Amino acid sequence: MTITVNGEKTSHEVEDRTLLVHHLRDVVGLTATNIGCDTSTCGSCTVLVNGESVKSCTVLAAQVDGDEVETLEGLAGDGGEMDAVQNAFQQKHALQCGFCTPGMVMAATSLLRENPDPTEEQVRMALKGNLCRCTGYHNIVQAILSAAEGIR
């Protein structure tokens, strides 16, 4: 299979049952995408496939053959400068242990591409599939609203 991950084309042979999240972590070597549950509930493994946010623990690697995948590692600029969402997460203290963060940032990125002017209610609904145990979501919501403002 061949996929483009964060703009770079990679080709590998994969076992039929390999999950995308394991492929990204163990084969491509990008470990920011995390696994927090076995039931696609927590959203820590959220990545973008052809621009759509998906839970990479629910997708087989072979299913995304030929597709474009974006992970947390691809968001920052070439010099490592954080993008608007990442920057807002730092400024608003929207992460503590950081485990849900890659998934949260990807979910937020997906939301803001679709809806650059969300209400607080819309942000909260959009995060329903991403669990955080540390922040109580307060600062995550604030960060996304603030990033939206910056992007606009």
Identify which of residues 76 and 117 has a Cβ nearer to other proteins in the complex: 76
- Cα 11 to Cα 29: distance, rounded to the nearest angstrom: 13
Nearer to other proteins among residue 82 and residue 151 (C-beta): 82
What character string, x for contact with other proteins (CB under 8 A) and - otherwise, covers 111-140? ---------x--xxx-xxxxxxxxxxxxxx
Task: Check residue 16 and report its DSSP letter.
Answer: T
Both tokens of 28, joined, read: 């491509």
Q: Which stretch binds other proteins (CB under 8 A): 2-10, 47-55, 94-102, 111-119?
A: 94-102
- Joined tokens for residue 148: 């939206």
Maximum distance among all Cα pairs of the chain, rounded to whole angstroms: 44
String of DSSP letters for 24-53: IIIII----S----SSS-S-TTEEEETTEE
Residue whose CB is less far from other proteins, 24 or 66 = 24
Interface with other proteins includes 89 (CB under 8 A)? Answer: yes
Amino acid at 10: T
Q: Does 52 bind other proteins (CB under 8 A)?
A: no
Query: How many chain residues interact with other proteins (CB under 8 A)?
Result: 57
Among 14, 96, 150, 151, contact with other proteins (rule: CB under 8 A): 96
